[in-house]
Amino acid sequence: MNFEEVLTVNVKIESAIDLKNDNGDSVVMISFTGDVKSKYFEGQVLPGGIDTQIIGKSGDRHTLSARYMLEGKDYTGETCKMFIENNGHMNKNLQGVLFRTYPKIITDSKALDFMNHDILIGEGFPAEDGVKIVIYRAI
């Protein structure tokens, strides 16, 4: 199976709220903005993007669940929106990659309708003021 890059989301972290729990799981909620550039879509992360991370007491488990909306133009020049739900986990064994995710995309773009149905994989990479998330589709 081959993969094609469909979106690159440049996440800029705004703030974080955390709950430290010495007796169990801890939680951090990260609000963010950002932009997207790709051959298929260019636009902005709309206000309200949030990433909720749950970290196990011993640090062996670290999940993330981000939800955000994008607004911009598809490759045909049509204005559109996308909703992304990006669930995954941190993996210390990956080389140069912070985490892998399994995104679900909902878009109103006719040209990008394939994103509503295709198998998608995401990877997070360190960036200067946040993270870069690259989303691929199986082809």
Q: Are 130 and 12 in contact (CB under 8 A)?
A: yes
Per-residue pLDDT tens for 62-114? 999 999 999 999 999 999 999 999 999 998 888 889 999 999 999 999 999 99
Nearest to 111 by CA among 76, 68, 66, 70: 76
Q: Kind of pairing, strands 41-45 and 120-127?
A: unpaired
pLDDT of residue 59: 75
| pLDDT interval class at 3 (50, 70, 90) | very high
Residue 114, domain CATH: 2.40.160.20
pLDDT of residue 128: 86
State which residues form the domain around 23: 3-138
pTM of the predicted structure, to 2 decimals: 0.93
Total count of domains within the chain: 1
Per-residue pLDDT tens for 32-67? 999 999 999 999 999 999 999 999 988 788 999 999
